[in-house]
C-alpha cells in the first residue's frame, strides 16, 4: 500500500526527529549497519569464489595441489557467502522474531506398499485384458 504525499512527509519528519533525539537508537532500529556488513561479506565471498575458480583452473596446468587449494577457497567463499546472504534476507537484518513451530509433516506411506499394490493391480488388469 503506497503512502500519500502527506503521510510520506510526516514519516520523514518522524524519522528526522528520532535521528536528532537519539541517533544511536535510530541507527540500531534501522539495522542498516548490520545489513551493510552482511552485504559486503556476501560480495567479498563472491569475489573470493571467482578467485578460487581461477586458482582451480590455473592449478590444472601448474600442479594438482594448487587446484585443491582453489577448490578449498571456493568452498569457504561459498559457505561464507550463503551464510551472509541468509542474514541479509532475514527481515532486512532486523533481529528475528521467534518463528512459530513448523507444522508436522504427514507420516510417509507404509514403506511403499500402496505403490506396489497399485502396480500389481495394473498388472492384473493388463493380464485380464490380454486373455
In a domain, 115, yes or no: no
Q: What stretch of H or E contains 30?
A: helix 23-30
Helix (H, G, I), strand (E, B) or coil at 11: helix
Mean pLDDT of 75-86: 89
For residue 73, being part of any structural domain is answered with yes
- Is residue 81, in this structure, part of any structural domain at all? yes
Cα 19 to Cα 17: distance, rounded to the nearest angstrom: 5
Asked if the model's pLDDT at residue 82 lies above 70, the reply is: yes
The answer to the question of residue 63 being in a domain is yes
Rounded-to-integer distance, Cα 67 and Cα 65, Å: 5
- The residue segments making up the domain with residue 66 are 47-91
Structural domain contains residue 19: no
Reported as a single tens digit per residue, the pLDDT across 39-57 is 888 889 999 999 999 999 9
Are 66 and 109 in contact, with CB atoms under 8 Å apart?
Answer: no
Answer whether 33's CB lies under 8 Å from 69's CB: no
Furthest C-alpha separation in the chain: 90
For residue 58, what pLDDT is reported?
A: 92
pLDDT above 80 (res 24): no
Domain count, the chain: 1
Q: What is the pTM of this model?
A: 0.47
Would you say residue 74 lies in a domain? yes
46, 77 Cβ separation under 8 angstroms: yes
Residue 42 lies in a domain: no
Amino acid at each position: 500500500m503506497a503512502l500519500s504525499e502527506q503521510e510520506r512527509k510526516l514519516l520523514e519528519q518522524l524519522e528526522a526527529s528520532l535521528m536528532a533525539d537519539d541517533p544511536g537508537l535510530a541507527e540500531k532500529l534501522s539495522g542498516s549497519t548490520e545489513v551493510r556488513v552482511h552485504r559486503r561479506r556476501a560480495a567479498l565471498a563472491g569475489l573470493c569464489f571467482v578467485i578460487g575458480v581461477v586458482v582451480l583452473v590455473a592449478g590444472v596446468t601448474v600442479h594438482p595441489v594448487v587446484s585443491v587449494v582453489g577448490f578449498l577457497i571456493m568452498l569457504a567463499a561459498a559457505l561464507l557467502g550463503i551464510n551472509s546472504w541468509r542474514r541479509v534476507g532475514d527481515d532486512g537484518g532486523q533481529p528475528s522474531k521467534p518463528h512459530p513451530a513448523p507444522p508436522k509433516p504427514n507420516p510417509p506411506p507404509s514403506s511403499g506398499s500402496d505403490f506396489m499394490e497399485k502396480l500389481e493391480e495394473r498388472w492384473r488388469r493388463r493380464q485380464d485384458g490380454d486373455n
